[in-house]
Structure 1
């Protein structure tokens, strides 16, 4: 069963999808219509996303992942936004540390 996006995941998506290009604008417009459809089994903060496709249009054709960025020190982590058929499908966080990232760091630490 889908659940609402957390405020932290929402803030992360908004920070990653800022930009004047048509893909970023279209994906950003999907955020209010996006819910969490699943989680990673390792315990990290990664979430599978589900967009209400009746409420918003898909993004124009683009590369996948749609966005990839890193967090500045002290987090040593990265984040990826993936899509499927022009709709948000995954917000993934990964780390070089031994332990998974279980929370979304402050989006001010994102370095694109």
Structure 2
């Protein structure tokens, strides 16, 4: 890939994929080879990823599209206004989605960087 991964996307992927689960370990190996193909135009920060699959091994996610990782977002006051989902297709990182559950709290990738707590 000719472009590096934007910091916001890299940071959130690092947090959501931080466990020692074999799937997360394998997906983390793909991150240095990722680029952002496009982003959602609504402002949520959802990023569609591009990866040269000839340069990395697939994660053991099985065939098809799966949610390979997820993390809920918690504000400073303890409110949970949304979550982040990491999708893989055929074992390869495919997109990072920011989901909002609230009409009162703006949920986007910048907020996810602040509100994500590494999985335990």
TM-score, length basis structure 1:
0.83
Instruction: Tell whether the 8 Å contact from 1:47 to 1:91 is kept in structure 2 after alignment.
Output: yes
Aligned residues: 111
2:84 to 58, 79, 84: 79
| Structure 1 runs of 4+ with >6 Å offset | none
Q: Which secondary structure state, in structure 1, belongs to the residue aligned with residue 13 of structure 2? A: helix
Q: Describe the shift of the 1:28–1:104 C-alpha distance in structure 2 as closer, same or farther (beyond 3 A).
A: farther
Give the number of the structure whose residues are more often helix, by fraction. Answer: 2
Instruction: Tell whether the 8 Å contact from 1:49 to 1:89 is kept in structure 2 after alignment.
Output: yes
Root-mean-square deviation over aligned CA pairs = 2.4
Please give the alpha-carbon distance, in whole angstroms, between the structure 1 residues aligned to 2:108 and 2:115.
16
Larger Rg: 2
The question of 1:106 aligning with 2:108 is answered no
1:103 deviation in Å?
Answer: 2.6
1:104 deviation in Å?
Answer: 4.8
CA offset digits 1:9-30 (Å, max 9, x no partner): 1011011111222111100000
Q: Describe the shift of the 1:20–1:104 C-alpha distance in structure 2 as closer, same or farther (beyond 3 A).
A: same
Structure 2 residues without counterparts, runs of 5 or longer: none
Q: Which secondary structure state, in structure 1, belongs to the residue aligned with residue 110 of structure 2? A: coil
Q: Describe the shift of the 1:88–1:44 C-alpha distance in structure 2 as closer, same or farther (beyond 3 A).
A: same
